Amino acid sequence: MVMNRTATYALVASWVLLTLGATPAVAQKRGAREAAQTLGSQKDRPWAQGVSEDQQQAAYVVFKEANALLKESLFVRAAAKYREALKHWDHPAIHYNLSLALLNLDQPIEVHEHLVAALRYGPVPLDPEKFEHARGYKNLLEKQLAWVEIICDVPGASVVMDGKPLFTGPGRFEGLVRAGPHTIAATREGYLPTNLNSALAPGEKSTLDLKMFTTDDLTEYRRKWAVWKPWAVLGAGAAVALAGGALHWQARESFQAFDREIIACGGCALSETQQGGPLLNRGELMQNVAIGSYAVGGAAVLTGAVLVYVNRLQPYRVNPEGEVKDEPKVGVTPLVGSGTGGVLATFRF
Beta bridge partners of 182: 198
| Half-sphere exposure (Cβ direction) of 202: Cα atoms closer than 13 Å | 11
Higher pLDDT, 304 or 188: 188
Is the predicted pLDDT of residue 156 greater than 90, yes or no? yes
Band of the pLDDT at 267, cuts 50, 70, 90? low
**pLDDT attached to residue 268:** 63
Is the predicted pLDDT of residue 97 greater than 90, yes or no? yes
Higher pLDDT, 26 or 66: 66
Using CA atoms, how far apart are residues 125 and 170, in angstroms rounded to an integer?
39
**pLDDT attached to residue 230:** 83
**Is 26 within 8 Å of 60 (Cβ atoms)?**
yes
- Beta carbons within 8 Å of 335's beta carbon, 6+ residues apart: 299, 341, 342, 343, 344
Higher pLDDT, 36 or 20: 36
* Averaged confidence pLDDT in the chain: 78
Is the predicted pLDDT of residue 15 greater than 80, yes or no? no
Beta bridge partners of 150: 173, 208
Using CA atoms, how far apart are residues 64 and 85, in angstroms rounded to an integer?
9
Band of the pLDDT at 336, cuts 50, 70, 90? very low
Mean pLDDT is lowest, of 125-139, 165-179, 282-296, for: 282-296
Q: What's the farthest any 2 CA atoms get from each other in the chain?
A: 149
Mean pLDDT is lowest, of 10-19, 186-195, 262-271, 289-298, for: 10-19
Is the predicted pLDDT of residue 138 greater than 80, yes or no? yes
**Is 157 within 8 Å of 168 (Cβ atoms)?**
yes
Band of the pLDDT at 312, cuts 50, 70, 90? confident
The reported pTM is: 0.57
Name the helix (H) or strand (E) containing 314. Answer: strand 314-318
Mean pLDDT is lowest, of 105-109, 173-177, 253-257, 334-338, for: 334-338
Band of the pLDDT at 19, cuts 50, 70, 90? very low
Query: For residue range 158-200, what is the model confidence (pLDDT) as tens digits?
Result: 999 999 999 998 999 999 999 999 999 999 999 989 998 989 9
